[in-house]
Amino acid sequence: MSTNKKKNDGFANKQMLSRAIKDSFVKLNPKTQLQNPVMFLVYISAILTTGLFILSLFGIRDAKPAFIFGIALILWFTVLFGNFAEAIAEGRGKAQADALRAAKKDVEANRIPSLTERNQITKISSAQLKKGDLVIVNAGEQIPADGEVLDGAASVDESAITGESAPVIRESGGDRSAVTGGTTVISDWLVIQVTSEAGESFLDKMIAMVEGASRKKTPNEIALQIFLVALTIIFLLVTLALYPYSAFAASQAGKANQTSVTSLVALLVCLAPTTIGALLSSIGIAGMSRLNQANVLAMSGRAIEAAGDVDILMLDKTGTITLGNRQACEFVPVDGVDIKELADAAQLSSLADETPEGRSVVVLAKQQFGIRGRNLSGMNAQFIPFTAKTRMSGVDFMGNEIRKGAAEAVKEYILEKGGVYSASCEDAVKRISNHGGTPLVVAKNGKVLGVIHLKDIIKDGVKEKFADLRKMGIKTIMITGDNPLTAAAIAAEAGVDDFLAEATPEGKLKMIREFQQQGHLVAMTGDGTNDAPALAQADVAVAMNTGTQAAKEAGNMVDLDSSPTKLIDIVRIGKQLLMTRGSLTTFSIANDLAKYFAIIPALFMSVYPGLAALNIMGLHSADSAIFSAIIYNALIIVALIPLALRGVKYREVTASQLLSRNLLVYGLGGIAAPFIAVKLIDLLIVAIGIV
């Protein structure tokens, strides 16, 4: 999905602009306009003033034909600018959808009757596959449909979906068994059970979401729109009341002409919250687009908004807070053993250990004591692999036995050999555990040499990120299967607010429910089937794309990069969406206050000369004031489109600080901008003789 990310990072390209301009006219369809009540009012006003202009050509004049024509033209531009704001926001999604459609194609699938009948292959179009069918996919073939790996393990190229060129491993069992149609197997083979019908695949859902076809208005959007409609109705009633009032006032003052219908229509459009009305939809679409560009697929706009309101973050320790691989950081000798002897034995026992922990032991011995890998061919070495049953690994060579492993396992091994498991070794094990580390005891020929300290490495910058989240009032909770002592030490080092040790699916679910009962909004990540209940309960549930089908179905977002730290970015995007909508709403309403001073005094100065005192801008005439305000009303929509698309700059501050800043910048700024802009437009149109 991110193959075109670089191209779409800017405001827009030529292709997007041309498509948006075309869509701006297509959206003039009354059914489309009716979906936005505030802009529908402007649409009706444009039609009304156009009709008044046509009537004026036949002698039925509400005002000067040139004046009516100018107002009608500007109102049509206002409608088109509002359509353009929405169309340019949709343009990014359409560009992403086009790239995804290019990856989606009908391929030939190898359907098999069952796992035991793999040789009975039936060639079938991927469009004809049904949920539950079994297919076998070999190296070089495209996976024909979404599914679950039942057998095999293979490298899969998912660049068509994620934009990342590095292949990933997909295998049966565990939490990396889900595969996506449209990706390609590049080594080995997989037997896959289809989990979606044709047209309902993950790729189909992605296309629908990024294109906006399935986007529904969120509760916050609906609430704001109801508020805007209420304001518009109030201003409509006020404007309707002004027409008979102006007629009465003109007759009382002995004036021949009352305020024209065209002027009152222009007043209504300026009074109504047209700025935020025009940009409201584009803000929501742009927020979803920013999430898509972060390679996260949101199943609903409600999920993005919920991310902005989240105040509890539940994060897995491994891969999110820590690098995911424990590293050897210290050799701790016991009972007078030379530390170099311990390091040498530890390295020997780890030479065949291809785990990250094993490799880190070899590296640490080399760095601290210069001990390098040696030639084992003449030593008749026999390596003992680690097993879940023995919880040890090691090497036998030239009559020597070296073992390393969990403290309890090595203790049992030592006692069986008739050796002594000393108190100093137990103290070292406890000390390492209490500091959040994992102790590996090393023994040679039935004697304990010492302990290797394995440490979870905290990711760079994580502590600072958690501090920023704390400033925003978000509580972070680390979820881990470690014992409470280890979990507490890592939590303290990482700077999280709380932790859940020895976590179980039931424990996660219980904790989420307790927080929700207290009125909190909870976000969490997960990838396994055992995470599904908690994901289904969480307000914002981010499932990993590498995870099981159950996890993806339970979540309301899917991270295509399968990066647990993405949850922090999702919260930021959600908050930025809410900040942008709030800031532009503040600016729009503040704008209206300033426009009152531009139009209302100018409209009634001829009837009530005393209102000239309110003409604080010193506008040239009633016509120039109306023209200036209505032109500004149209141009400000265009000026704010980049801000609506990019979003208000995100800041890690408290809600009260954010409110104060937005009121200062967008509240006072919204009042000041029209005073300056309307005056400049007034001077310009008078100078060039428009009025």
Residues 6+ apart with CB under 8 A from 389: none
The CA distance from 125 to 118, in Å, is 18
Residues 6+ apart with CB under 8 A from 497: 466, 470, 475, 476, 477
- Residue 22 — left, alpha, or beta (φ > 0 → left; ψ -120 to 50 → alpha)? alpha
How deeply is 586 buried, as exposed, middle or buried, from its count of CB atoms within 10 A (0-12, 13-18, 19+)? buried
Contact 590, 670 (CB under 8 A): yes
390 marked as binding residue: yes
388 marked as binding residue: yes
393 marked as binding residue: yes
654 marked as binding residue: no
Residue with tokens 């687009």: 289
Q: What DSSP string runs through 377-444? A: GGGT-EEE---TTT-EEEEEETTEEEEEE-HHHHHHHHHHTT----HHHHHHHHHHHHTT-EEEEEEE
The one catalytic residue in 204, 316, 539, 623 is 316
Residue 316 known to be catalytic: yes
Residue 231 in 3-state DSSP?
Answer: helix
Residue with tokens 């026999």: 382
Residue 541 in 3-state DSSP?
Answer: strand
Alpha-carbon distance values, 657 to 660, 661, 662 (Å): 5, 6, 9
353 marked as binding residue: yes
Q: What DSSP string runs through 635-688? A: HHHHHHHHHHHH-SPP----HHHHHHHHIIIIIIHHHHHHHHHHHHHHHHHHHT
534 marked as binding residue: no
The CA distance from 388 to 128, in Å, is 44
Residues 6+ apart with CB under 8 A from 578: 220, 305, 308, 309
Amino acid, res. 585: T
Which 3-state string (H, E, C) describes 199-227? CCCHHHHHHHHHHCCCCCCCHHHHHHHHH
106 marked as binding residue: no
404 marked as binding residue: yes
130 marked as binding residue: no
Q: For the chain, give me the number of helices (H) and strands (E)?
A: 24, 21
> Using CA of residue 54, residue 57, residue 61, residue 64, what is the dihedral sign?
positive
Residues 6+ apart with CB under 8 A from 563: 319
335 marked as binding residue: no
What does the CA dihedral 135, 139, 141, 142 come to, rounded to 10 degrees?
Answer: 80
Contact 118, 136 (CB under 8 A): yes
227 marked as binding residue: no
Q: What is the end-to-end Cα distance of the chain in Å, rounded?
A: 52
Binding residues for ATP: 353, 357, 386-393, 404
Binding residues: 353, 357, 386-393, 404, 527, 531
Q: Which residues are catalytic?
A: 316
Binding residues for Mg(2+): 527, 531
